[in-house]
Structure formats: C-alpha cells, structure tokens
Amino acid sequence: MEKNLIRIGIVSPEKCKPSKCKFECKKNCPIVRTGKFCIQIDFSENKAKISEELCIGCGICIKKCPFGAITICNFPKEINNKKIHQFGINSFRLFRLPNLKSGQILGIIGINGIGKTTALKILAGKLKPNLGNFSDPPQWIEIIKNFRGNDLQGFFNLLSKNKLKISIKPQYIDSISDKIKGTVEKNLIVKNSNTKIRKEIIQNLSLDLIYEKEIQTLSGGELQRFAIGFVLLQNADVFLFDELTSYLDVKQRIAAAKVIRKVLAENGKAYMIVVEHDLAIIDYLSSFICCIYGKQGAYGVVTVPYTVKEGINIFLSGFIPSENLRFRENSLNFTFCKKILNQNSNSRIFFSYPKIEKTLGSFQLKVENGEMHKSEIIVLLGENGSGKTTFVKLIGNILKTDENCQKIEKMRISYKPQQISPNFNGSVKKLISEKLSSNGLKENFKEKIFSPLNLESLLEKKVENLSGGELQRISIAMCLAKSCEIYLIDEPSAYLDLEQRMNVAKIIKNFIYEEEKSSFIVEHDFMMSTYLADKVIVFEKKNEFSKAGTPQKVGDGMNLFLKDLEITFRRDTTNFRPRINKLDSLKDREQKLEGKYFY
C-alpha cells in the first residue's frame, strides 16, 4: 500500500450475522492463519471486528462473507486527519463539514448513505462530533479548537452555549404526524410575529387551502409543504432542509424555492443549508455548493464550497480538480437525448389514442387525441392532481374512459405505479423468480437492466426490509423486464439519489430505444424529464377541471409549461443540463421578453 494511504474496514451491523454463518471471513483471512487477530467475532455486539492496522486489503473476507457485510477501502492519510465523526469500530465515518456562511444558502449534493444527514445532525446540535474518538469523546472546548481559523469555530462556539436557535426539516416527514397534533392552522398561527413574511409563506406553499385539515390526515405532498412552512415560520438563526422536494410537483418545488429565498432576504444573517437531489432546484436556490463524495455506508468526505455552477459540474463530472481526485469512473451528461430524438423523427406511428374524457367524482379530465412512435418516450408534465396518473391508467386500460368516449386500443403494457409497497413475503430473488418467470422474462434482463441497476446485492434481502430507493429500483427492473409494447412508468425518480436518477434515466432511455418499444412517463424532476423526453404532454388544471393537449416537441411543450410557472431555463455549456435562471436576472428577463422560457 502507498505510504500516503491508510486502510479502513467497515462491517455493517445490519448485514453481519455471526449466528447464521460459519465465520467465513475469519476462517479464510490469510493474516488470521498466521496467528494474528486481524478478524475477530464479538458475540457481545453480534458482529465481526476487523483490525485496520493488520488488514492487508486482500479482499478475501469481502468475497467470502455470505451477507455482503464487509467493505475495505484505501483512504488518503491527509483526509483521515480531518475526521469529524465515527460511530464506532469498523463503522461509518464523516470527514470535514460544510463551511457555513451567514446570509447565504449552501446547497449540499451527493449520493445516499455518505453522510449528508449526519452532517446536518451535527450542525443542528443533535449529534455531538467526536472527531473520530468514539471511545472517549472530546469536550466542546477541544471540538471548537479543532475548527480554529474556520467559520465553523464561531458557529460551534455559539452552538455549545445554546445561543443558536435551529429549525430543521427532517429527511423523513412521515413521523411528523406522530409528533405534531391538531390542525394545520393551529400549528402555524403563532409561529412568526412578522405578519408580512408569514402571509407570504402560507400563500406560496398553499397552506391556507389545507388550514382545516388535521396533521394526521395530510397527504405526502401536503405534509411536505406543511413541514417546509413550519420550519420557515420559526424565528431561527439556522434553517436546515433535508430533502426539500419529496412528494412535490414541479410547481410546488419552484414555489418552495422562491419562498425560502424570500425568508433569507428578510433575515439576512441566517444560516441556510439545503440537501437536495433535484439539481434544477438546488441550482436555483443555492449561493454556494458543497459536494459529498465517498463510499455508501463506509465514509463521506465534504468538499470546500464552490460556486453553484462549478460545484454541480464537479459532481456530475466525478472529478475534483483542486484535489486531483476522481470519485466516479464516468461523468454524467445530458447529450444522449438529442441523438435519439433525431432518429425517431421519421419513424412510423406505433400507437394512437382517441380523445379521452374521465370523470372521477367532481374531477373531470379531458385529453386531446394523440399518437406515439417506436423508440419514443412521452413525458407527462403537470401539477399534482392534474390527471397524469389517471391518463396512464386509461392508456393501460386499468381505468375505463367515460361511456361517451371511443375505446382505447388494447396493447400489451407493463405498469410501474406511483405508490410502491413491499407487500411480498420473501426475498428479492424469490420475488423476481415468481413474478417474472411466467411473463416472458427477456433474455438480456441481467445485462440490460439487472446489473446496471446494481441489484445483485439485494437478491438475498427480504422485500419488506428494502429501503424506498431499493424498492424503487426493483420496481423499475420488474417493469422493464416484462415483454410488452408500451411501458407506463409513474415517478421513477422517487426515493432515488441524484446519481441513481441519472443512472435510471439512462437505463430507461437506452432500453426503450434499443428494444424499439414506447413509454409514457410521469416525472416531476426536471432534469430527468428533459433527459428522458422525446415529446411531452402538458396537463393544465383549473379547480376541478384538467385538460391535456396532444404530444408535442420538447421545446414547445416545456415552453408552455414553464410560462405558467413564470420561470426560464437555459442549458449549461459544459454538460448541457437545464439550469433555472435566477428570478429577474438579466438572462431571465431576456428570455421572457423573447418568449423563450426553455432553451
């Protein structure tokens, strides 16, 4: 091993099961065979322990562990000296922290499982950093001294004396209804003495429309908007948002971003941090960007703050020039869609549908007739409740149109619903075997879908124990694995981190193109929408009535959609990703004057 590298070993407490294995890691370790205690089984903690000093990095224990519980990494010594927190022996560790700046919004981007939430908990005062000394944690005076010469020194000095009021929106909002009781109005009415900003927060987040609802009865999107409003209405010094856009449609995401910027404008000295996977939103919101890179479940390293454009492009490229460090083999870009769009332009009509009407209670949906071609993806754009999911179900004959409508031609379809639940008793391997064996499993399933989605490590997991992101990837794989003509995919980006979203978009795009199939996709992440779409259908809702036009070119459809939102997009010159122009910026005003809301 190089002199400037050290070895770190991670043993997952969830995966390590000594009572159910034959200690394969210990028995096959070459260092243990020489009589040294490189790997030991600690029955009091029910997990294996690895000596990082004795480990030679042969990787045999990784291969032999039947549960995939072990990770061994080589790590730079220089960064190891900047350890912020380690949970225990052979456990996850975080290096460096985001450098806060008052009066600015700091955006944090990175994949799941590398310490974003841990960093927020430390900055919120919910987790005291141990600087890697988990057996004898340091006192505040030593922690503050560790950050001398850094803006964080003053921050932790105030935090240690309880002189900072911190308001945090958690990553998982489902538990809010267990902790907060009563109506929305009751919980918001006395939270902020500034009448003007309080009114703007409530109106921008449409919270006045759900005033009378009990917290326990709120939908996912309503609960998310309530959580954002609840946090912003606090008279706080520090505002922390962990995953801002879950359950929100594009219109609601933009509204939330705008109101956060307004609150900061009113409270110019506040600290604000936003952790988010929607690149368009974090680009629009942030003043600076910190990337977090590392290995999932093993370690995370926080970079220095960059300008918004530079920070996002560094993450997408997977290379940090200032550290001469590559943390991802391949860069992520948005150029693939142009190639497919050009090749689809003259293909024959594959499927057409008539004018559609559907009445559900007081809600009425009207859709213009349309057609699609082979190797074509049509993305549905519109706010929540505008009928996108209803349209998808009508196309798949899961729902029937109103009686006075012409019937939709029946096609062989595969459907991934919006809501996915782990209601299967057994392993992922058993699920795939039972659900797909009788449905004409494609020969290239493993090569085209299974391996690119990184599902091998999930095979032995119980379906009921899968995380939201794992369940999403399995659902997408099972949808694409079925032999059919049209794939109906509802919100494929939900629960996925930024890198997984790009990977999933690329897999779906490649699959539909190479297999000469077609797909309708509902998606709220603007990056994924623009990458996936060959054409778009725009849904326009007014009260209980919604209408959708015929499929149209991406540029025309996006322009119509964005005009209603009063925002403009441009393309980044480096990787062609769509970027939201800052409100009332020179570029924003120029494009609005030209009527070009989307380039």
| Structure confidence at residue 141 (pLDDT) | 95
Please, are residues 238 and 164 in contact by the beta-carbon 8 Å criterion? Answer: yes
- Nearest Cα neighbor of 377 from 499, 251, 489 is 489
442 pLDDT more than 70:
no
Average model confidence (pLDDT) across the chain: 89
pLDDT of residue 360 exceeding 60, the answer is yes
The pLDDT of 312-338, averaged and rounded, is 83
Q: Which of 183, 8, 166, 15 is nearest to 93 (CA)?
A: 8
* Per-residue confidence (pLDDT) for residue 509, from 0 to 100: 93
- Domains 83-326 and 336-565 fall in the same CATH topology: yes
**Residue 437 predicted with pLDDT over 70:** no
What digits encode the pLDDT tens for the residues 237-270?
Answer: 999 999 999 889 989 999 999 999 999 988 888 9
Per-residue confidence at 127, pLDDT binned at 50, 70, 90? very high
User: Which listed CATH number (3.60.15.10, 3.30.70.20, 3.40.225.10, 3.20.20.70) goes with 5-77?
Assistant: 3.30.70.20
Residue type, 280: A
Q: Average the pLDDT over 558-569 and give the result.
A: 91
Judged against a pLDDT cut of 80, whether residue 190 lies above it is answered with no
pLDDT at 313: 93
Confidence at 368, pLDDT banded by 50, 70, 90: very high
- Identify the DSSP state of 117: H
The rounded distance, in Å, linking the Cα atoms of 29 and 352 is 62
Counting beta carbons within 10 angstroms of the beta carbon of residue 193, is it exposed (0 to 12), middle (13 to 18) or buried (19 or more)? exposed
Query: What is the per-residue pLDDT for 3?
Result: 64
| Cβ count near 409 (within 10 Å) | 11
Residue 69 in contact with residue 41, Cβ under 8 Å? Answer: no
Residue 344 predicted with pLDDT over 50 = no
Q: Among 289-303, 343-357, 446-460, which range has the highest average pLDDT?
A: 289-303
Query: Which CATH fold topology does 83-326 show?
Result: Rossmann fold (3.40.50)
Q: Where are the beta strands (DSSP E) in 368-493?
A: 370-373, 376-381, 413-416, 486-490
200-229 mean pLDDT? 91
Cβ 151 vs Cβ 158: under 8 Å: no
Q: Backbone phi, then psi, for 237, in 5-degree steps?
A: -95, -25
336-565 homologous superfamily: P-loop containing nucleotide triphosphate hydrolases (3.40.50.300)
Q: Domains of the chain: which residue ranges?
A: 5-77, 83-326, 336-565
**Highest-scoring range by mean pLDDT, 70-74, 94-98, 168-172, 334-338:** 94-98
Given a cut of 80, whether residue 486 has pLDDT beyond it is yes
What average pLDDT does range 585-597 have in this prediction?
A: 92
Count of CB atoms within 10 A of residue 560's CB? 17
Buried b (16+ CB within 10 A) or exposed e, 283-307: bbbbbbbbbbbbbebbbbbbbebbe
pLDDT given at position 446: 77
Paired strand residues for 271: 238
What pLDDT does 248 receive?
A: 92
Reported as a pLDDT band with limits 50, 70 and 90, residue 337 is very low
| pLDDT band (50, 70, 90) for residue 6 | confident
Q: What pLDDT does residue 564 have?
A: 87
Weakest mean pLDDT among 91-105, 129-143, 325-339, 340-354: 340-354
d(CA 380, CA 370): 13
As a whole number of Å, the CA-based R_g of the chain is 25
Kindly report, residue by residue over 93-106, the tens digit of the pLDDT. Answer: 999 999 888 999 99
The whole-number average pLDDT for the span 566-575 is 88
User: Is the model's pLDDT at 345 over the cut of 80?
Assistant: no
